[in-house]
Amino acid sequence: MSDNVDWMDEEDSRAETQAKTGARSNPEAPQLVRKEIKAPPRATKGFYIQELHSMAFDRVVFAQKQAKGKKAPELAEEAIELLLGKYGENL
């Protein structure tokens, strides 16, 4: 049983060393690289709306959450873009 623990300790120390140096045991092997998805920078805009509008927006957000769709900031941005288009403004 102690042989198994020693082997695991050796592997742990080897893995930690490789993680610190960035070295890989097989540099020719393909490496999984995940792209970080970053949201655009956003600013807080506080304003008051009617409760009916707020509740309707919350229902849309909830429906999108259930469907794994857009999040609340994205939905608000989409609504603002529609308003800007209606009144002839550009981003």
| Residue 34 placed within a domain | no
Separation of alpha carbons 36 and 6, rounded Å = 37
| Residue 84 placed within a domain | yes
| Residue 29 placed within a domain | no
Number of domains in the chain: 1
Indicate left, alpha or beta for 88 from its phi (over 0: left) and psi (-120 to 50: alpha).
left
pTM of the model: 0.57
pLDDT tens digit at each of 91 positions of the chain: 555 678 888 888 888 888 888 777 788 888 777 788 888 899 998 989 999 999 999 999 999 999 999 999 999 999 999 999 999 998 8
The Cα-based distances of 25 to 30, 55, 74, 86 in angstroms read: 12, 55, 42, 59
| Residue 8 placed within a domain | no
Domain of 88 in residue numbering reads as 40-91
| Residue 81 placed within a domain | yes
Q: Where are the alpha helices (DSSP H) in the chain?
A: 2-21, 51-66, 72-86
